[in-house]
Structure 1
Amino acid sequence: MNENLLGIIAGVLTSISMIPQLVKVVREKNVEDISLLMLLILISGLSLWVWYGFVKDELPIIVSNSFAVLVNINLLICYMVYNKK
């Protein structure tokens, strides 16, 4: 299997993994079970992967992690909007 194809498949699966959580939060408007610290750490780590992708000039790393950052930033925004604490 072509290593770029492998990277793209892995990136797509990783990137879409949080979409069901985001959909659930938007539908239910409930973030009680979401950890703010986890979101912040995840966004930081994904952002570093994007940077690494630019350093290594690896488009699959850049694209997949950029998408994941956007999904998780949306989840963070939902957290701030729907958090009742």
Structure 2
Amino acid sequence: MNITPIEIVGLIAGFCTTFSFLPQVIKTWRTRSVDDISLRMYLLLCFGIVLWLYYGLTMRSVALVLTNGVSFILTASILVMKLLFGKRR
């Protein structure tokens, strides 16, 4: 995998979008409140991120692999908290 100038742009963009999930992870962990989090949205988002990660691996893109790897960890943690902390109905 090569780090080209455009990969640096991708890394910066990926850093911004990836770490935008961090406040939600922290808030959800602290409050244990998941009522306003959409399960379907996070299922679809996690699936999409896995596809982007696969795409990044096949394209040998450092930016796509790193940022989507971290994004998956953050969004999957929100998804797991939604399943663990959600009200059983």
* Map of 1:60 onto structure 2: 63
Count of residues paired in the alignment: 84
Alignment of structure 1 residues 1-85 onto 2, 5 Å: 2-85=5-88
Amino-acid identity (%): 31
Greater than 2 Å deviation, 4+ residue runs: none
**CA RMSD, Structure 1 to Structure 2 (Å):** 0.8
TM-aligned CA deviation for residue 4 of structure 1: 1.5
TM-score by length of 2: 0.90
Q: Structure 1: where are the runs of 5+ without partners?
A: none
